[in-house]
């Protein structure tokens, strides 16, 4: 079965079993978030197959310059907004193709309903014909102590794309912490917020 594993950086990533040969492993954003001591196994196995970062180059250089430099050393695909000549393995993220496939970029369209990296990756997995999508390192729990709780608008969008996958017969698995949350998919027709990574203004996207 064509399977992709998508990793977040929550502590439950440490519970993820090693991937089976042939499975893809997708990760996103700051490399340091994954190469934490509690995720030493991840560093040792180098199990990722594609890396994604939809932030602007300016934001990456300001926020995690060492991570940006690390991208330039890699030989596996690094998906960015556009090909970066300073990063030999960089690949342009297929935003336009995804938006066209899912209904276009206009306001209220599913092709514009992306509020975080994992939603883009989930849509890409659907687009590329994966039969099973597994999430690890994910909780999507509210964090009321924060000045803004991104999960309040990320979670409905995530569940929307989960539903899109399941409606197409794709198996979707995610951690028990997410299973305990109400399955409440958002409605693209009511979303008027920014297009994550492309219509956001940093530091909002981080």
Domain boundaries, the chain: 3-94+115-184
Considering the entire predicted model, what is its pTM? 0.89
Helices and strands of the chain, counted as H and E runs: 8, 7
Task: Supply the pLDDT for residue 140.
Answer: 86
Residue 117 token pair: 């990296």
Beta-strand ranges (E) seen in the chain are: 3-7, 24-28, 50-52, 78-80, 90-92, 132-136, 171-173
Go through 68-79 and write b for each residue having 16 or more CB atoms within 10 A of its CB, e for each that does not: bebbeebeeebb
What average pLDDT values come out for the chain (206 residues) when binned by 10 residues?
92 86 91 62 69 92 90 94 96 96 90 94 98 93 55 86 98 95 94 83 41
Residue 152 has phi, psi (to 5 degrees) of -65, -30
Q: Which residues pair with 133 in a beta bridge?
A: 4, 172
Quote the pLDDT of residue 13.
86
Burial class (CB in 10 A: 0-12, 13-18, 19+), 189: exposed
């Amino acid at each position: 079965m064509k399977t992709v594993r998508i990793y977040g950086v929550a502590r439950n990533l440490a519970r993820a079993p090693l991937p089976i040969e042939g499975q893809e492993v997708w990760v996103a954003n700051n490399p340091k978030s994954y190469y934490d001591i509690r995720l030493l196994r991840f560093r040792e196995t180098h199990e990722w197959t594609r890396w994604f970062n939809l932030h602007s180059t300016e934001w990456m250089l300001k926020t995690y310059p060492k991570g940006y430099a690390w991208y330039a050393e890699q030989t596996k695909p690094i998906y960015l907004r556009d090909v970066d000549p300073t990063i030999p393995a960089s690949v342009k993220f297929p935003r336009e193709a995804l938006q066209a496939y899912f209904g276009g970029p206009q306001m209220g369209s599913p092709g514009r309903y992306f509020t975080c990296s994992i939603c883009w990756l989930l849509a890409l997995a659907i687009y590329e014909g994966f039969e099973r999508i597994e999430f690890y390192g994910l909780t999507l729990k509210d964090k009321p102590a924060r000045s803004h709780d991104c999960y309040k608008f990320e979670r409905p969008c995530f569940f929307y794309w989960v539903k899109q996958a399941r409606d197409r017969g794709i198996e979707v698995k995610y951690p028990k912490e997410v299973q305990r949350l109400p399955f409440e998919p958002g409605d693209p027709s009511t979303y008027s917020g920014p297009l994550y990574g492309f219509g956001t203004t940093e530091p909002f996207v981080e």
